[in-house]
Amino acid sequence: MLPMVNRVLNSFLKSLNRLTGLSDRQALMVIYGLSALIIVGFLLSIPLPRCDHHLIGSDGLYYYAYLPSLIIDHDLDLENQYEFYRREGIRIPYDRTSTGLSFNVFQIGPAILWSPFFLIAHLLSQALSLFGIPVPLHGYSYIYEAGVCLGSIFYGIAGVLLLYQVCRHYFDPMVSLLAVVGFWFSSSLLYYMLVEPSMSHSLSFFASALFLFQYMRMQVTRRWFAWVLLGGSIGIVTLIRPQESLFALLTIGLLYQEATSSQQVTWSELAKKGGCFLLTVLLVFLPQMVVWKVIFGTFITIPQGSAFFSWTEPHFWEVLLSTRHGLFTWTPITLLGILGLVTFIKRDRWMALAALTAFVLQVYVNSIAVDWWAGDAFGGRRFLGTFPFLLLGLASLINTAWQRGRGWHMVVAGTLVGLLIWNGLFMIQYRFGFIPRGDALTFHQLVTGKFTLPFHVMKIILNLLINSG
């Protein structure tokens, strides 16, 4: 076994050495190729049997419900959307708010980002109907749902491309490609792009990548319009996941840098730029406030209720290290990202401190949720918005090792391949029910079960073949 692994790593290393002079065009072609594989993989999975007969599932039902309600029914009364799913055997509570409308504690942001894809699916369905092909036009067919899922995948890919550009600001194409692809395929980002794209997490990843990209550009330009773009990006982040609005605090560092720069900047000018930023955030976030007003009767609220957060009882260690969806436990590449941010301080102190601050803020927010383990989740799914910051740290760590020569190239290659395999086996374990989806894992389920997994899968396949014969 070990000689075979060694041969694979040596072959992989030789390929990497041949690509030392990798160009941006070649790196982007690799990213496009992997993106195409994910899209094809999702499309091939559509005909697979599903217990609820829908491509949209879990929290995605509630994010998605806004689309047929607003675009087809032209209202925010979601009861008929919920009733459709109830008839399909999906359990949805009958709770009402003080306004008499059905509860929806989930954000409008994903529906806004998905709306172009939903509209294309709606137009396609109408065109097919005109040609006599019987296609449902109520917004719940596979055409609509596949369109929205593909939208999530495309946004995830856009986030990957943005992060490649961020990495290229600091590192060469080879290091940037290794970091982006390594994190992409060794984290829960892959799962939520490929297996459950109807959740908000790949959109959250995209929005955070957009914010980080604009934040990086702010290191170069201080023009007024740059503050508008930064505010717009944080507004999109907040539309998708309100807890990530804390990223707005990172702009304090930008204002401080500008105030202490060699250029003469008045406090009045700084205040105007900060006000411009906050106004843009508010304008972009306004649709969510309107939705809350219609459904809950107030412009600002915590839809889950104040009891959703236990402000003085954080679960710091559990949310990071527990076998119940702990971030580092399920996704060890994130730990490398944290270590890499420490090395990144020497290259860009302010960016490194901003990334570390963003991570610490999200650790606190996620740890005070009453369900800090996030229910049925593939790893620490609520941390996907921090992945762009951690990816920057991973790139720094790879760069440090890569510059030390051929021996360290083997370490980098072996580590990335190992983490990719770990994540892939974890996805199989989780998706096919070899491990519990909401509870803590045993040591066997977490570690040794991955080595025995291929034998279990082969046994299941053999049994299916025997029974079908």
- One-character DSSP codes across 383-450: GGGGHHHHHHHHHHHHHHHHTT-HHHHHHHHHHHHHHHHHHHHHHHHHHTTSS-SSSPPPHIIIIIHH
In 3D, which of 46, 82, 87 has the Cα closest to residue 64? 82
**9's tokens:** 């790593």
Rounded Cα–Cα distance for residues 208 and 215 (Å): 10
What is the pLDDT at residue 95?
Answer: 86
CA of 144: how far to CAs of 103, 125, 136, in Å? 23, 8, 10
Paired with 309 in beta bridges are 369
Residues recorded for the chain: 469
Task: Quote the Cα angle for 366-177-219, to 5°.
Answer: 65
What is the pLDDT at residue 263?
Answer: 67
| Phi, psi of 345, deg, nearest 5 | -55, -35
What is the pLDDT at residue 12?
Answer: 55
Q: What is the pLDDT along the chain (469 residues), one digit of tens a residue?
A: 445 556 655 665 565 555 567 889 999 999 999 999 999 999 999 888 776 678 888 889 999 999 999 999 999 999 999 998 888 888 888 889 999 999 999 999 999 999 999 999 999 999 998 888 888 888 888 999 999 999 999 999 999 999 999 999 999 999 999 999 999 999 999 999 999 999 999 999 999 999 999 999 887 776 778 899 999 999 999 999 999 999 999 988 888 887 777 666 777 888 888 889 999 999 999 999 999 999 999 999 988 888 888 888 999 999 999 999 999 999 999 999 999 999 999 999 999 999 999 999 999 999 999 999 999 999 999 999 999 999 999 999 999 998 887 777 888 889 999 999 999 999 999 988 899 999 999 999 999 988 888 887 777 777 767 776 5
CA of 189: how far to CAs of 60, 174, 314, 318, 334, in Å? 16, 21, 25, 21, 11
**387 close to 189: Cβ distance less than 8 angstroms:** yes
**142's tokens:** 């596979």
In 3D, which of 190, 114, 195 has the Cα closest to residue 151? 114
Burial class (CB in 10 A: 0-12, 13-18, 19+), 137: middle
Q: Quickly tell me which residue has 């399909």 as its tokens.
A: 88
Mark 315-340 as b/e (b = at least 16 C-beta within 10 Å).
beebbbebbbbbbbbbbbbbbbbbeb
What is the pLDDT at residue 1?
Answer: 45
